[in-house]
Amino acid sequence: MGICEWCGSEKTDTIMDTVYWELPDGTKAIQIEGAPTVECFGCGMKYQTDAITKEIEDQLYLIDTKVLEKVITFSELMAQPRLLKRNYFDFTS
């Protein structure tokens, strides 16, 4: 699928996995099920790409996180209504 960012192996696959994320305001952490994840068969590492990490972080800045349950699916998280049109705290673009 791609090259592992940790060990350089070409033996990777994209899977859906459970991740844990701290909310931007630091009030709690949530469990996100079914998050796109790279799994490396060379070193055994599982991680989210920079693009997926940014997608999750941006969404958490743009929604009302107070209504989130402790466990949510990636699809449900991405479907939450946004309070802002874009992440005005992201100065990378």
Q: Is residue 47 part of a domain?
A: yes
Q: Which residues span the domain enclosing 25?
A: 12-79
* Measured distance CA(25)–CA(65) in Å, rounded: 9
Instruction: Confirm whether 70 is domain-assigned.
Output: yes
Cα gap 48→34, rounded to integer Å: 12
Residue 5 lies in a domain: no
The mean pLDDT of 18-46, rounded to a whole number, is 96
Question: What tens digit of pLDDT does each residue of 79-91 get?
Answer: 999 987 766 666 6
3-class state of residue 93 by DSSP:
coil
- The conformation of residue 81, written as its DSSP 8-state character, comes to P
Residue 93 lies in a domain: no
Does residue 3 form part of some domain?
no
Model pTM score = 0.87
Domain contains 4: no
H-type helices in the chain, by residue range?
A: 50-62, 74-79
- Report yes or no on 84 lying in a domain: no
Nearest to 76, CA basis, from 44, 33, 25, 22 = 33
Is residue 29 situated within a structural domain? yes
Number of domains making up the chain: 1
Per-residue model confidence as pLDDT tens digits over 43-76? 999 999 999 999 999 999 999 999 999 999 999 9
